[in-house]
Structure formats: structure tokens, C-alpha cells
């Protein structure tokens, strides 16, 4: 595995692979890798000649009161996992490499970035869109892999890839869950044992809502009420930011449950913010 820290160098390396007719699969991450990330790397390995992974804790996607400083970092452990999966390239830039002095260009995907999580994390998707655009420009991957766990992120990235004519296919892979249903996330490491137990309410709320829809409950207001009731029944959940039934393309709350709908939820457990979602086909 080649370890590269400088954008210009990985740009040249990837360009050479493409010139030789090799497809490149790219898995952008912020590190603290779990099985969810590893599933993306495995998928990329299956579908491409070359797999590149990046680890960069992107400061522009964290708000001033958010967890940038305490975000889990484990470069040594992560590198070992990536090497074991036989990825070809690991891109490990630092803040100065990605945002040199004078940096002043941002990518903002309007409308959808302001919905759901965007209401609570105002500049988050602007930071994600900017860094993902930079990474796609540097690597020029044939395919880029993201997890469904960050559903809104995948919608924003698909939009920007289309709008900015990136020659990359966005591949969204299934959420990987713990044995009790909790979606894997680097932020689960913040939870104490009681909060970890309480966090199962997210998956419970999604599965109960999905079952209700599939067995004929077709009022979005009733389903939303059900979801809130499950989450409110867990005393360690300190805030419900949103929970309901949404259109998977526009991310608007639906007026009627028809075709494919998105069940999505964001809560706070003390200082930790957790999100999860499920697609339901009616």
C-alpha cells in the first residue's frame, strides 16, 4: 500500500492508473474506521482495479461548538486495517495541504443542504461538499463509495457530482449495524455503557415505523407520532432533532406514504448526536 500525504503526488499517481486504463474506486473517510468503512473498501476492491482510501478529519464540516477536537483519531490502527484489506493507496493529507493559506472557495449544494441535519448543523454540508469536491478532483475516481447511514450526505454528494459534472459514479452502500441494530458510527465511541444501551432506541423506532407502514399504516403524521413515542420513551435521549417520514430525493416530509419513503431520525444522547435512517418500499 502506498501512503501519500501530498495532493499533487496522489493526483499524479491516480492519473497514471487512469492512463493505463485502470478503474479507481475511492473511499473518503475521516478515520476511526469501523466495519461500515471496511465494507466500503471491500466493495471498492471488488468493483475496481485500484482502491484509494483517504483519511482526513475535515475541519470545515464541524461547527464551532462541535466535536472536531475530540473526534476519534487512530491513524496507526486505521492504516493497519486498510493494509490488511489490501487497498492500494492511502491518502493522508493534513489541514495545511487541504486548506492552504488564502483558501477561499467553497461548494454549497443549495436547498437539500439546509434540510434535516442542515437545520441543526448550518454549514456542515458546505464543508462536506467542499472537501468531497476537492478529493474527487484530486483522485478522479471511477467510483466513490459512501454509506447509507449518512443518507443526506449521499443525496448532497450525488447532486454535486451531477451539477459539477464530475466523471464519478457515486455508490451508496448499506448501513452496517451492531448485533442489536445500532448503526455503526465513529461517534458511538463517545457513548458510556448506559447511553450505548439507550442508543438502540433509534433502530427500534425505525423498525417499528417500517413494520407499521408495511402492515398498512399510511398516515405520515401517525408514523411520526409513533417514532417520537419510541424515542421519548428512552430517558437518556436528551433531544429529538427530527424523526419522521421523508421523500428520499427532496428530503421533504411527505404528505402521503406512497412508493419509496425515507424514515430518518437524529437525536442527542447527552453530548453525542446520533443519526440513522431506513428506506421503506410500500
Instruction: Tell me the catalytic residues.
Output: 37
Min CB(221)–ligand PAF separation in Å:
32
- What length does the chain have? 282
> Would you say 237 and 275 are in contact if contact means Cβ atoms under 8 Å apart?
no
> Would you say 30 and 186 are in contact if contact means Cβ atoms under 8 Å apart?
yes
Cell of 121: 448543523
Min CB(131)–ligand PAF separation in Å:
5
Pick the stretch among 28-36, 94-102, 213-221, 250-258 that binds ligand PAF (CB under 6 A): 28-36
Q: List the one residue from 24, 25, 29, 243 that touches ligand PAF (CB under 6 A).
A: 29
Q: List the one residue from 7, 25, 28, 93 that touches ligand PAF (CB under 6 A).
A: 28
Residue closer to ligand PAF (CB basis): 164 or 214:
164
Neighbour tally for 275: CB within 10 Å: 21
Min CB(105)–ligand PAF separation in Å:
16
Q: Of 1, 20, 23, which is closest to residue 87 (Cα–Cα)?
A: 1
Phi first, then psi: give them for residue 266, nearest 5 degrees: -140, 130
Rounded CA gap, 57 and 69, in Å? 10
Pick the stretch among 25-33, 65-73, 169-177, 266-274 that binds ligand PAF (CB under 6 A): 25-33
> Could you please report the per-residue DSSP string of 236-280?
T--EEEEEEEE-TTT-PBPSS--SEEEEEEEEEETTEEEEEEEEE
Q: Which of residues 141-160 bind ligand PAF (CB under 6 A)?
A: 150, 153
Q: Which of residues 233-262 bind ligand PAF (CB under 6 A)?
A: none
- Contact code string over 44-73 relative to ligand PAF, x by CB under 6 A: --------------x--x------------
Pick the stretch among 22-30, 91-99, 112-120, 246-254 that binds ligand PAF (CB under 6 A): 22-30
Q: Of 278, 101, 62, which is closest to residue 175 (Cα–Cα)?
A: 278
Instruction: Return the residue matching grid coordinates 431520525.
Output: 265
Residue closer to ligand PAF (CB basis): 150 or 234:
150
Strands 50-55, 239-246: parallel, antiparallel or unpaired by DSSP? unpaired
Q: Which of residues 114-143 bind ligand PAF (CB under 6 A)?
A: 128, 131-132
Q: Which residue ranges make up the site for ligand PAF (CB under 6 A)?
A: 28-30, 58, 61, 128, 131-132, 150, 153
Amino acid at each position: 500500500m502506498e501512503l501519500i500525504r501530498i495532493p499533487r503526488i496522489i493526483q499524479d499517481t491516480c492519473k497514471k492508473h487512469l492512463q493505463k486504463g485502470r478503474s479507481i474506486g475511492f473511499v473518503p473517510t475521516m478515520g476511526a474506521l469501523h466495519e461500515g468503512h471496511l465494507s466500503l473498501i471491500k466493495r471498492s476492491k471488488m468493483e475496481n482495479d485500484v482502491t484509494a482510501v483517504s483519511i482526513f478529519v475535515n475541519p470545515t464540516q464541524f461547527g464551532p461548538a462541535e466535536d472536531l477536537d475530540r473526534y476519534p483519531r487512530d491513524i496507526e490502527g486505521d492504516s493497519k486495517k486498510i493494509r490488511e484489506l489490501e487497498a492500494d493507496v492511502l491518502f493522508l493529507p493534513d489541514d495545511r495541504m487541504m486548506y492552504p493559506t488564502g483558501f477561499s472557495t467553497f461548494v454549497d449544494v443549495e436547498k437539500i443542504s439546509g434540510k434535516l441535519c442542515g437545520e441543526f448543523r448550518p454549514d456542515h454540508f458546505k464543508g462536506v461538499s467542499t472537501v468531497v469536491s476537492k478529493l474527487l478532483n484530486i483522485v478522479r475516481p471511477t467510483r466513490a463509495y459512501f454509506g447509507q447511514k449518512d443518507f443526506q450526505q449521499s443525496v448532497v454528494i450525488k447532486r454535486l457530482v451531477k451539477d459539477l459534472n464530475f466523471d464519478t459514479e457515486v455508490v451508496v452502500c448499506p448501513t452496517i449495524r451492531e448485533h442489536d441494530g445500532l448503526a455503526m458510527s465513529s461517534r458511538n465511541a463517545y457513548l458510556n455503557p448506559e447511553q450505548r444501551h439507550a442508543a438502540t432506541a433509534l433502530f427500534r423506532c425505525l423498525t417499528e415505523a417500517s413494520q407499521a407502514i408495511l402492515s398498512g399504516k399510511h398516515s405520515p403524521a401517525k408514523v411520526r407520532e409513533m417514532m417520537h413515542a419510541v424515542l421519548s420513551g428512552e430517558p437518556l435521549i436528551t433531544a429529538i432533532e427530527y424523526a419522521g417520514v421523508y421523500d428520499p430525493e427532496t428530503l421533504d416530509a411527505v404528505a402521503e406514504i406512497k412508493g419509496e419513503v425515507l424514515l430518518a431520525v437524529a437525536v442527542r444522547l447527552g453530548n453525542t448526536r446520533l443519526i440513522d435512517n431506513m428506506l421503506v418500499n410500500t
